[in-house]
Chains A and B, each alone.
Chain A
C-alpha cells in the first residue's frame, strides 16, 4: 500500500507527463503482480463496490479524532476532499513497518461488502491505525471511489507497454472488456491465452481531438475523408463465434439494451467488428431523405439508456440504429493497421449486403475545397449532426486520443450581431437578387463595415431581403447599393485575425449569415469593441 500511495503522490503532484510515465513504469516493474492487476483495474475505471459509505467513514473518523461535527465540516470545507480531510484528521497512527499490499485491502473490502456494519467498521479502523497519512488518503479514496489523480488510461497503457515490452495498442486491447481483477493474474491479463479467449472483447477506441488551427493547415482536401459528426453514443458492434456484442465507449456491454440489434446477429458475418454511433434514427421509410441517416435528438436516445426493460412503445418511438463508420476486424483479422480507405470499402460492402434498418452507413461528405466544406459544416445542425469528422484517408486505426490523422470539427462558431449596410446582386441562379451583403458593427454612434457574408439564408428569406434592398437603397456605387441600416443578422465565423487592409482592423475566416435577427434593432447590435475582444481571445 505504501508503494501505491507513493505512486499516487507522484502522479498527483507531478506536472509533467514524462515524470508520470516514469513513475508508472517504475511501479509496474517493481510492484507485486496482484497489485499491478489492481492498479490496471483502478486506472481503467474498474473499482470495487463501496463497502462503506462516506457518512460512515466520517462518523468513524470523528469518533477517533473526537471532533464535533461542525468542526469536521469546517475542515472539509477547507480541504475540499473527503478522503483527504479524514486522512488529515485521524489521530496519529501506531508506527508499524508492516504495510499490507494494495490487493489485500481491496480484496478484503470486497469480501466484507455484505457483512455487518460492525465488521466493516472494525476493518476500516484497524486499517487506519497502521497506515501512514498518504496511505490513509489513498485507502479512503479507494473506498469513496472518486479516484481522479491526473493520469489517463492512455498513460497507464504506455507505461505498462514500456515495462512488459508489448505494443501499447496490444495492451489497450487486452485490458479492455470484461475481466475481474480478483480472478485474473497479471500474466493472464497480458497474454493472448486462447483458453480464456473472450469473444466479447472490444478494441480500444481511436478518439479525435478538436481541430484548433485553420483547416487549411491540414493540407490537400483530397487526402481527407469527411463525415458528419453524430451526437449519439460511440459504440462497437462485435460479431464473433455466432454471438453479437455491442459496447459503448464507456466500455459498457449494451447488447441487451438494444433489441433492434439482435436481428443483426443472423446477418453479420463472424469475425467482424464495427466502429460507429449508437443513435435513434428516423426510419428510412418515414424519412423524406431516402436512405440517408437522419438522427433524432440525443434526448430520445437517453430515454433508452436508463431503462432496463425496453417497452414496445419505446421501440417504435425511439428505434435505435447503429451508424457504422469503421471496420476494425474482418474475417477474424485485426484490420486496424490497414488504411482507412481500404477499411471503408469493406465496410460499405458489409453494410450494403446486410441492408437492415438497424445498421446504417455513415455517409461521406463530398467536397473539393475547405471553403466548400466549411459551408457544408455550417449546415450540420440541419443534418442532425454536431459538425464534421475529418479522417486522413491513409490513416490507420490508432489507440486512444491522438493528434494528426483524425480531427473533429464541431460547429461552435463565433457569432456577432451586425447590421446590413451594402448589398450586391448575386451570381448564377441568384443574379437577379441582392444576395451578397456587407455588414457593420457600431463604433460609437457610427457604423463600421467589417465583413461580407453570403450563404446562410433560405430562398424565401433572400427574396424578402431583396425586396427590402430595392425599397431602401440610399446610394448606388456601380453594382453596390448602400442600404438603410435596419436589418440585423447574426454572423457566424470560424476565426478572427488582425488586418491592416480592413477598416475595422479585423478579418474573419469563413463568415456566413447564421440567422436573421428579426427580433433585434440596429441599436442592439455588437460593437467594434466586441470584435476587438474576440480578436484578443481567439485572434491567433
Chain B
C-alpha cells in the first residue's frame, strides 16, 4: 500500500491516520505552510513548524496546534514524521514520513535560494517525492535575489527622481516580508496595506526582526506617500484605494513577471520576477537530489514537468490537487483588511 494516497480531501497517510495540507476538514492535518491553499480551516488538529504556528493562528484563529522544529522526529500512530525547511516562506516545511524504512517526502511549496527569512531549503533523500511545479517550464529561471533587489532599489530611486510613489504589489504573507528586506537601505518610509500590516505584526510578535513599516489608514495624510514606498497585496491594482498614491508607478513582484506579456496585461509599470517557488532548474535539481525512484507532480505545470521527467528517465506521474491559488487567498485578505479600514473610518 502506498504511504500516501491521493484522496478527495487531500494527501492521506492511512498508516498514520493524517492528511498533509487537506482541503477539507479532517481529524489530523500536517501543514507545510500558512498559505491559504495549503492551510485550510476546519480541522481538529494541526501539526506544523514552530514559525508557522503564529501565522496559522492569525489566519485560522485558535485551534489545536502542535508545533515542532525542523528535523525533530515525532511519531503519529507509529509513523515517523519530520519537517524540513522548504525555503518558500517563514515556517514553510517539507514533510518527510517513514514506515519500515520506506521514505516519502511532500515538498509543499519550495524554493532553492536562501532568501534570508524562510530557512535554507534542504533536499531530503526519499523513495517517493511529491513535488510542486508552479514554474515547471524552462522559461522560468530566476536571477539571484541580490540582483533583483538591486533592480528594485534602482526602480524606486528612478521613481523618486520622477516625483512618483513606488507601489509594490506583493503577497501579504511571504513576498511582502521578503521584499521588505531590500528596501530600508534606500532610506524612504515604507507604507503597507492593512493585510500586509496584519501579517507583519504576527511575524514580528513571533520574534522575527523586520524593517519598520507604517500602516495605511484613512488618517494617513495623502501627501505622506509621495516619492516614498508602498506595499499592497494583489487585488488592489487599479482599485479606488490606489488613487491616494497618485502620482505613482506600480511594480509587481511575482515569478509570473518573467514574461513581458504578463507585465503588460497587469498594466504594471515594472515587473520583478521575484518568486518564492523553485524555477525550472531548481525543480530538476531537487528531484535529482532526492534520489527518488518515483516522483508525483502536483500543482502547476504537472503534465509538462512529469512528461519531461519521464523522458529523462525519472518515473513520474501527475496528480491533481486543490493547491495553487495563493492569489485568491490574498484577494480575500485584501477585502477583509479593506473592510477594517472602512469600518474604522
Binding site for B on A (CB under 8 A): 12-15, 65, 67-68, 70-71, 74-75, 78-81, 84-85, 88-89, 137
Q: Which residues of the partner chain B approach A14 to less than 8 Å between Cβ atoms?
A: 269
Query: Considering only CB atoms, which chain B residue lies closest to A85 in the complex?
Result: B139
Within the complex, the shortest CB–CB distance from A12 to chain B, in Å, comes to 6
Q: Which residues of the partner chain A approach B311 to less than 8 Å between Cβ atoms?
A: 68
Q: Which residues of the partner chain B approach A74 to less than 8 Å between Cβ atoms?
A: 137, 301, 304
> Which of B46-54, B116-124, B253-261 lies at the binding interface?
B253-261
Q: Top 7 closest A-B pairs, CB basis?
A: A88-B139, A75-B139, A74-B304, A79-B259, A80-B261, A75-B137, A78-B137
B263 within 8 A of A: yes
Q: Which residues of the partner chain B approach A15 to less than 8 Å between Cβ atoms?
A: 267, 269
Q: State which size class the interface on B falls in.
A: 20 to 34
Q: A71-B304, A80-B261, A88-B258 are in contact. Are A13 and B137 (CB under 8 A)?
A: no
Q: Which residues of the partner chain B approach A137 to less than 8 Å between Cβ atoms?
A: 260
B270 within 8 A of A: yes
Q: A13-B264, A13-B271 are in contact. Are A67 and B138 (CB under 8 A)?
A: yes
In the bound complex, how far is the Cα of B259 from the Cα of A12, in angstroms? 12
Within the complex, the shortest CB–CB distance from B340 to chain A, in Å, comes to 31
Report B233-289 residues with CB < 8 Å from chain A CB: 258-261, 263-264, 267-271
In the bound complex, how far is the Cα of B268 from the Cα of A84, in angstroms? 18
Q: Which residues of the partner chain B approach A89 to less than 8 Å between Cβ atoms?
A: 138-139
In the complex, the answer to whether B260 meets A84 with C-beta atoms within 8 Å is yes
In the complex, the answer to whether B139 meets A78 with C-beta atoms within 8 Å is yes
B308 within 8 A of A: yes
Q: A74-B304, A75-B137, A75-B139 are in contact. Are A13 and B259 (CB under 8 A)?
A: no
Selected contact of A81 from candidates B260, B263, B269, B271, CB within 8 Å:
B260
In the complex, the answer to whether A71 meets B271 with C-beta atoms within 8 Å is no
Query: Considering only CB atoms, which chain A residue lies closest to B261 in the complex?
Result: A80
Selected contact of A71 from candidates B259, B267, B308, CB within 8 Å:
B308
Instruction: Name 13 extra pairs, CB < 8 A, besides A79-B139, A88-B138.
Output: A13-B260, A13-B264, A14-B269, A15-B269, A71-B137, A71-B138, A71-B304, A74-B137, A75-B139, A79-B259, A79-B261, A84-B261, A88-B139
Within the complex, the shortest CB–CB distance from B70 to chain A, in Å, comes to 33
27 contacts between A and B (CB under 8 A): A12-B260, A12-B264, A13-B264, A13-B268, A13-B270, A67-B138, A68-B308, A68-B311, A71-B137, A71-B138, A71-B304, A74-B137, A74-B301, A74-B304, A75-B137, A75-B138, A75-B139, A78-B137, A78-B259, A80-B259, A81-B260, A81-B261, A84-B261, A85-B139, A88-B141, A89-B138, A89-B139
In the complex, the answer to whether A65 meets B138 with C-beta atoms within 8 Å is yes
Report B137-152 residues with CB < 8 Å from chain A CB: 137-139, 141
Query: Considering only CB atoms, which chain B residue lies closest to A86 in the complex?
Result: B139
In the bound complex, how far is the Cα of B138 from the Cα of A462, in angstroms? 70
Within the complex, the shortest CB–CB distance from B237 to chain A, in Å, comes to 12
Binding site for A on B (CB under 8 A): 137-139, 141, 258-261, 263-264, 267-271, 301, 304, 307-308, 311
Q: Which residues of the partner chain B approach A88 to less than 8 Å between Cβ atoms?
A: 138-139, 141, 258-259
Within the complex, the shortest CB–CB distance from A117 to chain B, in Å, comes to 26
In the bound complex, how far is the Cα of B136 from the Cα of A71, in angstroms? 11
B138, B271, B301, B307, most chain A CB atoms within 10 A: B138
Q: Which residues of the partner chain B approach A84 to less than 8 Å between Cβ atoms?
A: 259-261
Q: Which residues of the partner chain A approach B308 to less than 8 Å between Cβ atoms?
A: 68, 71
Within the complex, the shortest CB–CB distance from B229 to chain A, in Å, comes to 19
A15, A67, A85, most chain B CB atoms within 10 A: A15
Within the complex, the shortest CB–CB distance from B18 to chain A, in Å, comes to 35
Q: Which residues of the partner chain B approach A65 to less than 8 Å between Cβ atoms?
A: 138
Q: Which residues of the partner chain A approach B259 to less than 8 Å between Cβ atoms?
A: 78-80, 84, 88
In the bound complex, how far is the Cα of B259 from the Cα of A89, in angstroms? 12
Q: Which residues of the partner chain B approach A81 to less than 8 Å between Cβ atoms?
A: 260-261
Q: Which residues of the partner chain A approach B261 to less than 8 Å between Cβ atoms?
A: 79-81, 84
Query: Considering only CB atoms, which chain B residue lies closest to A14 in the complex?
Result: B269
Q: Which residues of the partner chain A approach B301 to less than 8 Å between Cβ atoms?
A: 74
A71, A84, A137, most chain B CB atoms within 10 A: A71
Within the complex, the shortest CB–CB distance from B324 to chain A, in Å, comes to 15
A67, A75, A81, A85, most chain B CB atoms within 10 A: A75
In the bound complex, how far is the Cα of B136 from the Cα of A78, in angstroms? 11
In the bound complex, how far is the Cα of B305 from the Cα of A75, in angstroms? 12
Within the complex, the shortest CB–CB distance from B176 to chain A, in Å, comes to 22
Q: Which residues of the partner chain A approach B264 to less than 8 Å between Cβ atoms?
A: 12-13
Q: Which residues of the partner chain A approach B137 to less than 8 Å between Cβ atoms?
A: 71, 74-75, 78
In the bound complex, how far is the Cα of B248 from the Cα of A15, in angstroms? 12
Within the complex, the shortest CB–CB distance from A518 to chain B, in Å, comes to 47
In the bound complex, how far is the Cα of B141 from the Cα of A241, in angstroms? 61
In the bound complex, how far is the Cα of B259 from the Cα of A53, in angstroms? 23
In the bound complex, how far is the Cα of B144 from the Cα of A315, in angstroms? 67
Q: Which residues of the partner chain A approach B267 to less than 8 Å between Cβ atoms?
A: 15
In the bound complex, how far is the Cα of B271 from the Cα of A168, in angstroms? 33
Within the complex, the shortest CB–CB distance from B247 to chain A, in Å, comes to 10
Q: Which residues of the partner chain A approach B138 to less than 8 Å between Cβ atoms?
A: 65, 67, 71, 75, 88-89
In the bound complex, how far is the Cα of B264 from the Cα of A81, in angstroms? 13
Q: Which residues of the partner chain A approach B258 to less than 8 Å between Cβ atoms?
A: 88
Within the complex, the shortest CB–CB distance from A22 to chain B, in Å, comes to 9
Query: Considering only CB atoms, which chain A residue lies closest to B258 in the complex?
Result: A88
In the complex, the answer to whether A13 meets B269 with C-beta atoms within 8 Å is yes
Selected contact of A13 from candidates B139, B141, B263, CB within 8 Å:
B263
Q: Which residues of the partner chain A approach B260 to less than 8 Å between Cβ atoms?
A: 12-13, 81, 84, 137
Q: Which residues of the partner chain B approach A67 to less than 8 Å between Cβ atoms?
A: 138
In the bound complex, how far is the Cα of B141 from the Cα of A75, in angstroms? 13
In the bound complex, how far is the Cα of B269 from the Cα of A78, in angstroms? 21
In the bound complex, how far is the Cα of B301 from the Cα of A79, in angstroms? 14
Within the complex, the shortest CB–CB distance from A494 to chain B, in Å, comes to 32
